[in-house]
Amino acid sequence: MSTKPVTSHVRRRYEFIKAHRREHGVQAMCRLLGVAPSGYYAWLAQPISDHAQEDARLLRLIRASFTASQGIYGAPRVFLDLREAGETCSKHRVARLMRQHQLRALHGYRMRRWSVGKPSVLIPNLLKRQFTVTRRNKAWVTDITYIRTWQGWLYLAVVMDLFSRKIVGWSAGPTIHRELVLDAVLMAVRRRRPRRTVIHSDQGTQFGSDAWRRFCRSHRLEPSMSRKGNCWDNAVAESFFSSLKKERVKKQIYKNRDLALTDIADYIERFYNRTRRHSHLGGMSPEQFEAGLKRR
């Protein structure tokens, strides 16, 4: 029969009684220490309580989820992993065990604050921060970031579908040229076959040229552009880069561009799109979210 959990104070008293039971009577020590002899004998038969044994079992599952996420999952996402595996523990219990065993999610790379800018005179802002959309290929966002390597910078361009937050196209290279963006968008076009899809960007030179507008027209894309100096107009793309850098890059410097490229490809295609739980999607990964929609 299961008993209630033994507190640390009571456990220490039981341990004292066990250590001195050859010197003094158990009944007398129990009376002096304010514990019941029946409780002591039950603990002696099973020193680790059922509750503690269950904590130890859950901790192994929590560590597995935490390790699989490479240390980026906090208690809410670990809890979702356990629930998906059929566990019935509470979120508070998961948080307590992670706190007790110092399993802390990685944090950092705060988003920069920008002043409000003027509307673009090149291309209008069609998106207007409407980051929640109701169907695939209604609106994409694209942006560029850079990754440090000992060979020099590796530049990364991505295209994200706002519906599922899935990275549908990406490209990386040693220079920040126009083809970097075009390659990423071409990947997205071939994968998704858009029709009158809004594609939103900042005011980088790659997105303001006549060639970019012609490219968008030929691939049935409608270009949209942030206001000058205002990253909040493209905050979702900025958020993805922040996640990439704190969850995978982690402020390291890669030995060369090839190693960086391999690691980034793994993060985007294997982890972020397929596995990483996204709070905006109710704890599902982008691919799970899209697959769930198809089954409806």
Q: Averaged over 44-71, what is the pLDDT?
A: 78
285: Cα within 13 Å, side-chain hemisphere: 17
Instruction: Kindly report the CATH number assigned to the domain that includes residue 182.
Output: 3.30.420.10
In this structure, the answer to whether residues 69 and 149 fall within a common structural domain is no
Mind listing the pLDDT tens digit for each residue in 98-113? Answer: 998 889 887 544 444 4
CB-based contact 234:226 (threshold 8 Å): yes
Q: How far apart, in whole angstroms, are the C-alpha atoms of residue 270 and residue 28?
A: 63
In this structure, the answer to whether residues 145 and 258 fall within a common structural domain is yes
pLDDT at 173: 94
SS (H, E, C) 74-98: CHHHHHHHHHHCCCCCCHHHHHHHH
In this structure, the answer to whether residues 291 and 230 fall within a common structural domain is yes
Q: Could you give the C-alpha distances from 14 to 31, 35, 46, 209, in angstroms and in order?
A: 12, 8, 12, 78
Structural domain contains residue 74 = yes
Q: Which residues form the domain of 76?
A: 57-100
Q: How far apart, in whole angstroms, are the C-alpha atoms of residue 3 and residue 18?
A: 20
Whether residue 145 has pLDDT greater than 60:
yes
CB atoms near residue 282 (< 10 Å):
11
Structural domain contains residue 115 = no
Q: How much is the mean pLDDT over the chain?
A: 83
CB-based contact 200:224 (threshold 8 Å): yes
In this structure, the answer to whether residues 152 and 269 fall within a common structural domain is yes
- Per the DSSP assignment, residues forming a β-bridge with 235 are none
In this structure, the answer to whether residues 199 and 233 fall within a common structural domain is yes
Structural domain contains residue 25 = yes
- Beta strand 152-161 with 221-225 is unpaired
User: Confidence class of residue 229 from pLDDT cuts 50, 70 and 90?
Assistant: low
pLDDT at 289: 93
In this structure, the answer to whether residues 174 and 291 fall within a common structural domain is yes
pLDDT at 280: 85
Mind listing the pLDDT tens digit for each residue in 280-292? Answer: 888 999 999 998 8
Q: Averaged over 120-129, what is the pLDDT?
A: 74
pLDDT at 84: 66
Residue recorded with tokens 């020193």: 47
Token pair, residue 106, equals 């990685």
In this structure, the answer to whether residues 287 and 166 fall within a common structural domain is yes
User: Confidence class of residue 66 from pLDDT cuts 50, 70 and 90?
Assistant: confident
Share of the chain above pLDDT 70, in %: 86
pLDDT at 114: 41
Structural domain contains residue 192 = yes
Token pair, residue 89, equals 């523990």
Mind listing the pLDDT tens digit for each residue in 157-177? Answer: 999 999 999 999 999 999 888
Structural domain contains residue 50 = no
Structural domain contains residue 96 = yes
In this structure, the answer to whether residues 168 and 274 fall within a common structural domain is yes
In this structure, the answer to whether residues 19 and 143 fall within a common structural domain is no
pLDDT at 8: 65
In this structure, the answer to whether residues 182 and 72 fall within a common structural domain is no
Structural domains in the chain (count): 3
Whether residue 268 has pLDDT greater than 70:
yes
Whether residue 275 has pLDDT greater than 90:
yes
